[in-house]
Amino acid sequence: MIIRKSPAELEKMRRSGLLVYRVLQTLAGMVEVGVSTLELENAAEKLILDAGARPAFKGYYSAAAGNRYPYVLCTSVNDEIVHGMPSRNKVLKRGDIISIDTGVQLDGYFGDSAITVGVGEISPQLVKLLAVTQESLERAIDKARPGNRLFDICSTVQKHVESNGFTIVREFVGHGIGTELHEEPQVPNYVDRNNENPRLKEGMVLAIEPMVNAGKPQSKVLSDRWTAVSQDGSASAHFEHCVAVTKDGPWVLTRP
């Protein structure tokens, strides 16, 4: 069941979203050669707790992993697609890219967002990968309007990514969000005819999150049971926003 939010609920989600935005912007400013992903983790946890919020990811149970996620952030470097685990031993190098994904619960409502950042100067191919992934998100956001259908969002991401020579990760998808971190509907980044295609209505909130590989689309999960990487070792980018469907058009809750 897709749960539509009232204007008052959307305002609460807006506060959660803006906190996530502030956290990610702070972390993006910290990304540089020599910084460990655990340093980013520690900074994020302090920012979230100081704001009176609860980290959404820390303690989140996954049946697939068979345990609870132990960190505030997912920090996915280079060929890591999603759910990369922070570590003092993972130190950023010049030319790396890092996807930083985090969420919070504030006053009972969740916010969730992700960015991918280059470490120093990155290759032209990686510059294009990040740009195309972010562009696909922006184009998808524009489709989050009453009367459109979910597949309008999915196909928009897929067409932009594939027309630029990159591939869509299919094993991981976006989702509804509200009083739960993951709600209906699932939001694939491609048209999945086995997925339902509901009409978009006012009050729906979708976490749209393209995950794009520079090489082939297949992924695998490492022995930690969380970290997903591209099977062929190619780089992967990830951007995410929470978007409310309103009568005035898409409202991105996770940026000013």
Whether residue 88 has pLDDT greater than 90: yes
The average pLDDT across 4-9 equals: 98
Q: Is residue 2 part of a domain?
A: no
Question: Which residue in the block uniquely carries the two structure tokens 């990369």?
Answer: 84
Into how many domains does the chain fold? 1
Q: Is residue 69 part of a domain?
A: yes
**Contact present, 156 and 136 (Cβ < 8 Å):** yes
Q: Is residue 110 part of a domain?
A: yes
Query: Mind listing the pLDDT tens digit for each residue in 60-76?
Result: 999 999 999 999 999 99
Q: Is residue 1 part of a domain?
A: no
Q: Is residue 224 part of a domain?
A: yes
Per-residue pLDDT, 238: 99
Cα distance between residue 203 and residue 115, in whole Å: 25
Cα distance between residue 13 and residue 252, in whole Å: 10
Where helices occur in the chain by DSSP H, the ranges are 7-30, 37-50, 124-141, 150-163
**How does the average pLDDT of the chain come out, rounded?**
98
The parent domain of residue 221 ranges over 7-252
Q: Is residue 42 part of a domain?
A: yes
The CATH code of the domain that includes 133 is 3.90.230.10
Q: Is residue 116 part of a domain?
A: yes
Query: Mind listing the pLDDT tens digit for each residue in 139-194?
Result: 999 999 999 999 999 999 999 999 999 999 999 999 999 999 999 999 999 999 88
Q: Is residue 32 part of a domain?
A: yes
The average pLDDT across 97-106 equals: 98
Per-residue pLDDT, 24: 98
Cα distance between residue 188 and residue 176, in whole Å: 11
Per-residue pLDDT, 195: 87
Q: How far apart are the first and last CA of the chain?
A: 29
